[in-house]
Amino acid sequence: MKKFVTMLFGLASFGFPLTGIDASAALAQTQKSAQSPIKLQSLNIKPGLWESTRTIKRAGEMGIPPEMLNRLTPEQRTRMEERMKANSGGHTSTETEKHCVTKEDLERDRLKIAEAKACTTTVVNSTSTNVKGKIVCETAGMHATGMLELVAVDPEHVNGSYHSTVDSNDHTMNLEGTWTSKWLGSSCGDAK
């Protein structure tokens, strides 16, 4: 479950770097699943060091998969359920991080949308300044759907938003994410 939650928060944080499948893989999935595939275009942004600030809001309670509950002792199960309920009221967090976007990332359309093999990504719209996608994940008794959008305001600024819903074991959690990314320079230094 931790990996699934991490993957979803990674999706909600979605401003560079993104983890997992690259956009060309998302395009291949779109081509297999849709009658008229969307041609993926590279975002018109500069390679180099970027800084992203993201805000994630979550509300609701994520269910605990039955397989996981069955492995816990009664005491562990009680503590886990209490923690999940305590965290269900809604939380907002903001993070800022620096990361490197390489020329190769841009040439290969490596937007890296989702890390988990249990996710399917579909490109809904793609231009040199805007990418919209849909993500569906199924793993460990959890089902998540999400929509995301990246907007290259100019070659040095990218904004984005993300919304997803996670359903599991009769519980629902909603995630909303927004971010702003700005180009800091052509040299990445030690940033990855």
pLDDT digits (tens, 9 = 90+) for 86-145: 766 678 899 999 989 888 887 775 555 555 577 888 888 989 999 898 989 887 778 899
Q: Is-cis flag, bond preceding 17, omega within 30?
A: yes
Q: Are strands 91-101 and 130-139 parallel, antiparallel or unpaired?
A: unpaired
Residue 58, domain member (yes or no): yes
Q: What range defines the domain where residue 132 resides? A: 2-185
Residue 190, domain member (yes or no): no
pLDDT digits (tens, 9 = 90+) for 30-82: 434 444 466 677 889 999 999 999 999 988 877 777 777 788 898 998 888 78
Contact 10, 2 (CB under 8 A): no
Residue 173, domain member (yes or no): yes
pLDDT for residue 35:
41
pLDDT at 20 over 50: no
Residue 142, domain member (yes or no): yes
Q: Are strands 142-154 and 130-139 parallel, antiparallel or unpaired?
A: antiparallel
Q: The pTM is what?
A: 0.70
Locate 125 and state its tokens: 């719209």
Residue 69, domain member (yes or no): yes
Residue matched to tokens 């060091």: 49
Residue 164, domain member (yes or no): yes
Q: Among 13, 149, 150, which Cα is nearest to 94's?
A: 13
Residue 191, domain member (yes or no): no
Number of domains comprising the chain: 1
Whole-number Å distance between alpha carbons of 102 and 145: 29
Q: Under 8 Å CB-to-CB from 6, ≥6 apart: which residues? A: none
Residue 192, domain member (yes or no): no
Q: Under 8 Å CB-to-CB from 98, ≥6 apart: which residues? A: 49, 50, 51, 52, 184, 191
